């Protein structure tokens, strides 16, 4: 039985600004996942309202959207067996201060004392989210 999945990964504006896009793609490829699409994009409020619909109404929602509009993001579709769970594991915990060393957030992120956790990457959290998010960012795929 094959379980080849696709997942939507975003290098968030902090990662792009800090010049970490290459390092993050390197880790994805070193893990063995394929890059199915890579595109530097400016998010829009409409796109982010769809992407982060589950977080609407939460206290960090407005600062999160503002942060995601603060610069370009690198939108990436990765592919491989169980890559949804696998990339979440590579990314580490949401809070970069406590994300385990060895993970993207644990090795490269920290708390900057800002209103939203600037944690370098987004990764889809389920097959359903992945299909939905890939449809938002790459409707042509
Ligand atoms: P993820 O799946 O690990 O990215 O985390 P979530 O889906 O729960 O949250 C989406 C994004 O919102 C996170 O990656 C953070 O950038 C931000 N965020 C989530 N929870 C909090 C929080 O409690 N406080 C703040 N300031 N930001 C948060
Ligand atoms: Mg999430």
Residue nearest to atom 26 of ligand 1 (CA): 116
> What percent of the chain has pLDDT above 90?
98
* Model ipTM over 0.95: yes
> What average pLDDT does the segment 53-77 reach?
97
Structure tokens at 53: 């619909």
Cβ(119) to ligand 1 under 6 A? yes
Give the Cα separation of 98 and 120 in Å (integer): 14
Active site amino acids: 122
The CA-CA-CA angle for residues 112, 115, 121, to 5°, reads 65
Cβ(6) to ligand 1 under 6 A? no
Report which ligand 1 atom has the smallest distance to the Cα of 125: 2
Query: Is the CB of residue 125 less than 8 Å from the CB of residue 138?
Result: no
Residue nearest to atom 25 of ligand 1 (CA): 116
In CATH, what number does 4-137 get? 3.30.70.141
- Give the predicted TM-score (pTM) of the model: 0.97
Q: What is the mean pLDDT of the chain?
A: 97
DSSP string, 48-61: HHHHTGGGTTSTTH
Q: Which residue has the tokens 């990964």?
A: 9
Ligand 2 centroid, distance to 125 Cα (angstroms): 6
Residue 107 has pLDDT above 70, yes or no: yes
pLDDT tens-digit profile of 71-97? Answer: 999 999 999 999 999 999 999 999 999
Cβ(60) to ligand 1 under 6 A? yes
1: confidence class by pLDDT, cuts 50, 70, 90: low
> Taking the domains of the chain in order of start, what are their residue ranges?
4-137
Structure tokens at 70: 């603060």
> What average pLDDT does the segment 52-64 reach?
97
């Amino acid at each position: 039985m094959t379980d080849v999945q696709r997942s939507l990964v975003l290098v968030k504006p902090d990662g792009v600004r800090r010049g970490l896009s290459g390092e993050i793609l390197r880790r994805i490829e070193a893990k063995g996942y394929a890059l199915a699409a890579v595109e530097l994009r400016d998010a829009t409020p409409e796109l982010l309202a769809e992407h982060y619909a589950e977080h609407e109404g939460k206290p960090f929602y407005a600062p999160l959207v503002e942060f995601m509009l603060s610069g370009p993001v690198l939108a990436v579709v990765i592919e491989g067996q169980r890559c949804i769970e696998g990339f979440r594991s590579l990314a580490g915990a949401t809070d970069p201060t406590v994300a385990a060393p060895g993970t993207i957030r644990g090795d490269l992120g920290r708390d900057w004392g800002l209103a939203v956790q600037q944690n370098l990457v987004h990764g889809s959290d389920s097959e359903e989210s992945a299909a939905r998010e890939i449809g938002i960012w790459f409707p042509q795929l």
